[in-house]
Amino acid sequence: MLITSGCVGGVIGGEQGACVAGSNCQQPTTPTSPTNPTSPTNPSNPGGPVSTPTPPNPTTCSQDSDCTSPFVCNTAASQCVPPTAKNGGLCDPIEGIGCKSGEQCIGGICMNPPTTCQSNDDCPGAFICQQGVCTVDGGNGGSGCKDNSQCPTGQGCVGGSCVPQAVCNVPHAPNRMAGVWQLDSTLKVRDGLKGLTKGLLSLGGALQDIIDGKFNIKGVPSFLSSIVAALVKDLIKQYVPPWGLQVIQWLANVNDVLDEWRVISTESIQSVGNDQYKGASTWHLVEFEYQGKKVSTSGTNVPGLGQITTEPWTAREVCGVFFIDKHSLKAKFGQIYRWAIEAMLTAISCSNGQCYTNLNDMFQTLIDCRAFGNAVQSADSTIPGLSSLVEAACTAEKQNFIKKIIQEIDDLSAKLTYMSLRAKVNIINNNSMSNGRWYGVLGGSFGKGNFEGSFQGVRK
């Protein structure tokens, strides 16, 4: 069953359509391995659904158009290969067959040994970019092997791990991964932001000053300013909603709030023969958590975004490991990130019994400046027109803050224009994958930042 997010008679967190947990929302669950379907199955893939037929790659090629897109032609070998192998070719990592002198077989592709890098995009297979060097990832940040020479006798290096050579000889259908799969992923997007949220962090202090009543009230005689300032400080918190202080805390910890994202996606995988595949991804749910509250949505609920999909990608099975080559998200990641910020802020207001449809409406109620001005006037009636002076100063500070926070979110959204992913995952059987690792990059006008993630998958 495909799991998507939805609110059933619950609260929608803002105009971006976020489903806030605890409000009668239908929450996603971790996918479990399905039972074998009773519908027709692919005889070469017992227990799996029939996949859409895809023309296999030809045995030889002379140009890219001869190959099934997005595969390309390695003209030197007259072989259809993934784009990453256009200059190298395919190979057997255990036997070392297929590579030229000086090349290594990494993830089933011949290439020169990886060296320096600026981002994960510059590294192959199971490598990550650390301190400007492509470093093999043995799993969860650990060390691993680079080639067969670093493995014990009788083992080979596959995806950064030493595995028995017998693993590569397990009989299996060369198209067994074809079909529709559901992945449950955790992406540590915070690592890829590279300080991009500094502007939001600084606004926490600005909001604290407003709530503390630290703003200049023009028109008050200087000899009375200290008295008025004391009144403002004593009275203002009575006119700030409970969520005002929570927003300050959120702004101070915005990186922690949006540290990890859960993504439920489907992968449509088609075989092109000989353990080689093409595919594309669709994100059905994005979810994150703040103080025990889960907020989730699908791209179709976010105005201006729509269904979140990726460009087509190539993949292959190598000794029981499934490698997915680099591909990018078609949607601008900044739009997704903007939704997350707005959804979390509106969720904070919802937790106090009042939900707002947009951030401007929400922050307009941050302080009731008119009632606050009247209260200050009542506390000291010796200054004529004090209520109007306090109301004007309060309103000016509030509007300035609203302008800054909306501008900061707009800028953040505009700067995040790129997201790429590649992966490796262990094939458990024809219906399940586990211990998957994502290698990602966030990019835009600020440069590029690396992040990683994990996932598991089941056949639908």
Query: Which string of DSSP letters, residue by residue, matches 160-213?
Result: TEEEEGGGGG----TTTT-EEEEEEEEE-GGGGSTTTTHHHHHHHHHHHHHHTT
Q: Is the confidence at residue 352, as pLDDT, over 60?
A: yes
Q: Is the confidence at residue 25, as pLDDT, over 70?
A: no
Band (pLDDT 50/70/90 cuts) for residue 74 is confident
Q: Both tokens of residue 194? A: 């590279």
pLDDT in tens, 31-73: 443 333 333 334 344 444 444 456 788 878 999 999 998 999 9
432-444 and 447-459 strand pairing: antiparallel
**pLDDT top residue among 248 and 49:** 248
Q: Is the confidence at residue 401, as pLDDT, over 60?
A: yes
- Residue 240: C-alpha distances to residues 207, 236, 370 (Å): 11, 7, 12
What does the DSSP 8-state code read for residue 455?
E
What φ, ψ does residue 119 adopt, rounded to 5°?
Answer: -155, 175
What does the DSSP 8-state code read for residue 335?
H
Band (pLDDT 50/70/90 cuts) for residue 330 is confident
Q: Is the confidence at residue 138, as pLDDT, over 70?
A: no
Distance CA 29, CA 33 (A): 12
> Which residues neighbour 457 within 8 Å (Cβ) at sequence distance 6 or greater?
31, 181, 182, 183, 184, 267, 425, 432, 433, 434, 436
Q: Is 211 exposed, middle or buried (0-12, 13-18, 19+ CB in 10 A)?
A: middle
- Can you give the residue ranges of every domain in the chain? 1-28+175-460, 67-169
Q: CB–CB of 122/129 below 8 Å?
A: yes
Bridge partners for 125 per DSSP: none
127-130 and 133-136 strand pairing: antiparallel
What φ, ψ does residue 243 adopt, rounded to 5°?
Answer: -70, -15
Query: Which pLDDT does position 257 carry in this prediction?
Result: 67
User: 15-24, 102-111, 173-182, 408-417 — which is least confidently predicted?
Assistant: 15-24
Query: Which pLDDT does position 165 carry in this prediction?
Result: 82
Average pLDDT over residues 400-412: 87
pLDDT in tens, 379-394: 888 888 899 998 998 8
pLDDT in tens, 78-131: 888 898 888 778 887 776 667 888 888 888 888 888 889 999 999 988 899 988
Task: Tell me which residue of 381, 367, 376, 363 sits closest to 234, measured CA to CA.
Answer: 376
User: 34-48, 240-254, 339-353 — which is least confidently predicted?
Assistant: 34-48
Query: Which pLDDT does position 10 carry in this prediction?
Result: 29
Band (pLDDT 50/70/90 cuts) for residue 5 is very low
241-250, 261-270, 322-331, 372-381 — most confident range: 261-270
How many C-beta atoms lie closer than 10 Å to residue 301's C-beta?
21
Query: Which pLDDT does position 148 carry in this prediction?
Result: 80
- DSSP characters over 406-441: HHHHHHHHHHEEEEEEEEEEEEEETTEEEEEEEEEE
